[in-house]
Amino acid sequence: MASPTPPPLDFGNVQGDILAGGLPKKTETYFFFQIDSLRVKDFRTQLAKLIPLITTTAQTISDREKLAQNKKEATHKKHRPPLVKMSGVNLTFSHKGLVQIGINDDIGDTAFNKGMLADAETLGDQGTTSSGTFSPDWFPAFKQDIHGLILISGDSHATTAEKLEEIKKIFLVEAHNASIHEVFSIVGDVRPGEESGHEHFGFLDGISQPAVQGVDNNPLPGQETVRQGIILLGREGDTPNVEGVTVRPPWALDGSFLAFRHLFQLVPEFNAFLKQNPIPIPGLTREQGSVLLGARFTGRWKSGAPIDITPTQDDPALGKDPSRNNNFRFDFPEDPLTQDRCPFAAHVRKTNPRADLQDLGISTENRHIIRSGIQFGPEVTAEEAASEKTQLPRGLLFVSYQSNIVDGFQFIQQSWANNVDFPIQKPVVPGFDPLVGQAADPASRTMSGTNPQSQSTTLPLTEQWVVPKGGEYFFSPSIPALKETFALAG
The catalytic site residues sit at: 205
DSSP 8-state secondary structure symbol assigned to residue 341: S
CA 473 to CA 114: how far, in whole Å? Answer: 9
Residue type, 267: V
Rounded-to-10 torsion of CA 41, 44, 47, 49: -50
- Give phi and psi for 487, each to the nearest 5: -85, 150
- Cα–Cα dist 101/232, whole Å: 23
The β-bridge relationship of strands 446-448 and 225-226 is unpaired
Q: What is the DSSP string of 310-326?
A: SSSS--HHHHT-TTTTT
Neighbouring C-alpha atoms within 13 Å toward the C-beta of 162: 10
* Strand partners of residue 264: 395, 467
Reported in sequence order, the residue ranges of 247-394 that DSSP labels E, i.e. its strands, are 256-265, 370-371, 374-376
Residues 6+ apart with CB under 8 A from 189: 26, 27, 28, 374, 375, 376
Contact 269, 282 (CB under 8 A): no
Alpha-carbon gap, residue 110 to 257, rounded angstroms: 12
Burial pattern 131-159, b for ≥16 Cβ within 10 A else e, equals eeeeebebeeebeeebbbbbbbbbbeeeb
Find the radius of gyration of the CA atoms of the chain: 22
Nearest Cα residue to 447 out of 467, 466, 463: 463
What gap in Å lies between CA 74 and CA 59, rounded to an integer? 23
**DSSP code string of 291-353:** HHHHHHHHTB-TTS-BTTTSSSS--HHHHT-TTTTT---S-STTTTT--SSS-TT-HHHHH--
Beta pairing, strands 446-448 & 211-212: unpaired
**Angstrom distance (rounded) from CA 133 to CA 155:** 43
